Amino acid sequence: MTPPSGHIFDSIAPTGSDDGSDVAIIGDVHGCGASLEALLDRLDRECPRSRSVLVGDLFTKGDTPEVVVELMLARAASGRPIEAVCGNHDRRMLAAMLAIEHGAPVEDLPRAERRCLDRLERHGRVAGAREILEATVARVEIRDPDAGWTVLHAGIDPRLGLDGTPDEVKWSIKARPGERHWWDCYDGGDGLLVFGHKPVTAPMRRCVERCPVAVNVDTGCVYGGALTAYLVGEDRFLWVPGPDVAEERPARRTRPITREADRRDSTVPQEASAVPGRRPAGSS
């Protein structure tokens, strides 16, 4: 889907960081507006020229999707680069909006999308959310070939590589119980891949020959974990606490992946070890 012309997000499309600014890749926000605001404030203080890239799953599940919309639109309007890649929940949310436009009853929507849409409507942010989602769903990945990194929501099939992996896999791949995670089989041949989708108790940073090749920044913010950003140029993490939303936790959960420091060729910087995993993260 191509976003309509004239949208504010059409004008915010940087392709690299050769101006000396860093790139801050932010994990799954899931409608946690206060956490995103706190993380962006911290980035503005510590990395004032950073370009923000979100790994997707922007609005559903959390309590304040309207704040996420406001923050993203305000940041883009001010000329500060902010982008997002397509997550599975972004596709669901945009599909729900389209279904409503075509006459589907609101009560037929899944609970998460219905609750998110109700919140957006009450705060007058449906149009803004639609604008962001159209641009986001059209963008499966963001690459910087010169710097050697790619951002996508979920990951790749290591057997097919980045270019050979279908788009649907890039926004949805997740290991079944008992299976190895795709990043355990990834040899780094396509450079650094930064992603979310699978909640971890602390940001996962896998290295091959001491070079980062796979970084998971989904630290389960909406499940009581943290919202994490990875600064590519500095190879370090920043984080802020997530909200306590125990009452909204899904009934069906999977256990989070624990910190990856004991894996061969895997390292986690010291700052990452301080990220609080206050509650087990649920499946995203």
Residue whose entry in the numeric block shows the structure tokens 């305000």: 74
**CATH code of the domain in which 95 resides:** 3.60.21.10
Q: Is residue 182 part of a domain?
A: yes
| In a domain? residue 1 | no
Q: Which tens digits make up the pLDDT trace of 54-107?
A: 999 999 999 999 999 999 999 999 988 899 999 999 999 999 999 999 999 988
Mean pLDDT of 237-266: 52
Q: Which run of H or E residues covers position 97?
A: helix 88-101
Residue 12 lies in a domain: no
* Full residue range of the structural domain in which residue 238 is found: 21-274
Question: 196 lies in a domain?
Answer: yes
Reduced to 3 states (helix: H, G, I; strand: E, B; else coil), residue 92 is helix
Q: Is the pLDDT of residue 161 over 90?
A: yes
With respect to residue 222, please indicate whether it lies within any of the assigned structural domains. yes
Predicted pLDDT of residue 30 = 98
Q: What is the pTM of this model?
A: 0.83
**Integer Cα distance of 204 and 272 in angstroms:** 8
pLDDT digits (tens, 9 = 90+) for 7-40: 444 433 443 444 435 899 999 999 999 999 999 9
Do the domain assignments include residue 219? yes
Is residue 68 assigned to a domain?
A: yes
Residue 248 covered by a domain = yes
Q: Containing H/E element for 228?
A: strand 226-231
Percent of the chain with pLDDT over 90: 73
Task: Count how many domains the chain has.
Answer: 1
